[in-house]
Amino acid sequence: MDFIFIEGMLVDANVGIFPRERSASQPLEINMTFGVPDAAALRDDIADTIGYDQVVERIRAVLAERQFNLLETLGEFVVALMFEEFNAPWVRVSISKPGVMKNVRRVGVYIERGRNGDEPPRGGGLGPLGVPRS
């Protein structure tokens, strides 16, 4: 399986349970890696892969319209979106709130799922940018 990663996607979102969080959107940072068919590299055809530009646009569109209480719920939503709309076989996403607490750079969640409950890719751990080694 090949992988595409999106690192440091900055978005504004309505997420949180505290009144100060619910009164206005706040910045989030999203990092994600998702599996794509090997055929994309073999045939050199965009039709065989997942367009990262489409993924970014879709996530930004959802965040402009929806309120989430928990980052966990937002993360699970992103994973489901990748499975259902983009047919990704595997997804890892981290979502963080930078500067939300004093003396803490950021807090967030990390979710990793394989389609239909499949195990995440194995074999050598994580390489640069959190991409699985083959």
* Domains of the chain, start order: 2-130 (3.30.1130.10)
| Whole-number pLDDT of residue 41 | 80
Q: Cβ distance 67 to 14 under 8 Å?
A: yes
| Whole-number pLDDT of residue 124 | 47
Per-residue pLDDT tens, the chain, 134 aa: give them.
889 999 999 999 999 888 877 888 899 999 999 999 888 788 888 888 999 999 999 999 999 999 999 999 999 999 999 999 999 999 999 999 998 788 888 889 999 999 887 666 665 455 555 555 54
Q: Cβ distance 28 to 96 under 8 Å?
A: yes
| Whole-number pLDDT of residue 122 | 61
| Whole-number pLDDT of residue 134 | 46
Q: Cβ distance 37 to 48 under 8 Å?
A: yes
| Whole-number pLDDT of residue 118 | 66
pTM attached to this predicted model = 0.83
Q: CA triplet 90, 93, 95: central angle to 5 degrees?
A: 170
Q: What residues are annotated to the active site?
A: 97
Residue 79: count other Cβ atoms within 10 Å of its Cβ: 22
